[in-house]
């Protein structure tokens, strides 16, 4: 009886160890998938809308696994090869080139499995579709009207320049970046000028991706543990959008002024030429002298 109990305990222990091993292995796989996705977060989200690239929620329902793996490895190879879906995505997102990720097959499987863990049920998909339809019915202008307010611009400007601190203690943007705006302070030169960032990186979605999921090492380190909140992100987005529009209007007015000045100068030169052509070419006494001769 004692030997039987020992044998049973040994078997049950083996079974328990096997379950623990499987659980730990699945946990590690999920953790590895989340870690791999950190490389994608600057351009993609899962269920939070488009950033610089498409939202990856339910990607396996729209494309087969081999297509997704090939696109991750080298999207440009698929585009140059004439894949219609790859070309359509490339054109939809302003011909923005995706970096190649030649990951091993096992890591690609783990990454796709992690993305698929967020997949929605059919009922959830119907709800999301109705919400998307409602937002589409709202229209882009109405949506922008909700956030494009003078208050958001002022708050975003204050956050950018550092006169208002970020809630989680991150550094102000002006220490590295500059934005050319009326009554704006001179910014840093350590990173790119953000005056035209709204039109340069794809509008609000591009700026949101840049702020919420920084892709640059220096920016990652600066905001590690002090992430920008959603409200602060919206205010910065609106500030950068308004700065871009103001500078575009100013540039257009300068171009218009120069164009009108050039046209006016040409008209004036024509008038002067006509007057000069009809000028009196000889002195008043010329004909009198000629008659006396």
Q: 8: pLDDT confidence band, cut at 50, 70 and 90?
A: very low
The reply to whether the predicted model has a pTM over 0.85 is no
Residue 61 and residue 152 share a domain: no
89-134 tens-digit pLDDT: 888 888 888 888 888 998 888 888 888 887 755 544 554 454 445 4
Which is more confidently placed, 55 or 16?
55
Task: Give the per-residue pLDDT at 15.
Answer: 38
Task: Give the per-residue pLDDT at 76.
Answer: 92
Residue 115 and residue 8 share a domain: yes
Number of domains in the chain: 2
The answer to whether residue 155 sits within a structural domain is yes
Out of 135-139, 194-198, 200-204, 288-292, which region has the weakest mean confidence (pLDDT)? Answer: 135-139
The answer to whether residue 138 sits within a structural domain is no
Exposure string over 94-111, b if 16+ CB within 10 A, otherwise e: eeeebeebebeeeebebb
Task: Give the per-residue pLDDT at 143.
Answer: 63
Select from 230, 246, 262 the last residue of a domain. 246
Task: Give the per-residue pLDDT at 203.
Answer: 77
CATH number at residue 154: 1.10.760.10
Task: Give the per-residue pLDDT at 59.
Answer: 87
User: Average pLDDT over the chain, rounded to whole?
Assistant: 75
Exposure string over 212-232, b if 16+ CB within 10 A, otherwise e: bbbeeeebeeebeeebbeeeb
Residue 152 and residue 82 share a domain: no
Q: Say which residue the tokens 């863990």 belong to.
A: 117
Torsion-angle region of 100 (φ positive above 0: left; ψ -120 to 50: alpha; else: beta)? beta
Could you tell me the residue range of the domain that residue 221 belongs to? 147-246
């Amino acid at each position: 009886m004692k030997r039987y109990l020992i044998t049973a305990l040994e078997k049950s222990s083996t079974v328990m160890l096997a379950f623990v091993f499987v659980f730990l292995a699945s946990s590690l796989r999920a953790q590895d998938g989340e870690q791999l996705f950190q490389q994608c977060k600057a351009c993609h989200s899962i269920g939070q809308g488009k950033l610089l690239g498409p939202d990856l929620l339910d990607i396996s329902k729209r494309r087969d696994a081999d297509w997704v793996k090939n696109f991750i490895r080298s999207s440009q190879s698929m585009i140059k090869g004439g894949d219609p879906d790859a070309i359509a995505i490339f054109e939809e997102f302003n011909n923005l080139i995706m970096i190649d990720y030649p990951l091993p097959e096992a890591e690609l499987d783990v990454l796709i499995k992690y993305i698929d863990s967020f997949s929605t049920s059919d009922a959830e998909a119907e709800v999301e579709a109705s919400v998307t339809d409602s937002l589409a019915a709202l229209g882009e202008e109405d949506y922008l009207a909700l956030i494009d307010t003078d208050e958001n611009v002022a708050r975003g400007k204050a956050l950018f320049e550092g006169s208002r601190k970020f809630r989680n203690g991150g550094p102000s943007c002006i220490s590295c970046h500059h934005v050319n705006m009326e009554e704006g302070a001179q910014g840093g030169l350590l990173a790119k000028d953000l005056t035209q960032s709204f039109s340069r990186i794809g509008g609000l979605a591009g700026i949101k991706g840049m702020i919420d999921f920084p892709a640059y090492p220096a920016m990652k380190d600066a905001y590690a543990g002090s992430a920008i909140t959603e409200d602060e992100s919206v205010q910065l987005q609106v500030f950068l959008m308004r700065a871009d529009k103001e500078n575009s209007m100013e540039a257009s007015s300068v171009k218009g002024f120069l164009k009108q000045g050039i046209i006016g100068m040409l008209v004036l030169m024509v008038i002067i030429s006509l007057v000069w052509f009809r000028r009196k070419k000889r002195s008043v006494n010329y004909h009198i002298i000629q008659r006396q001769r």
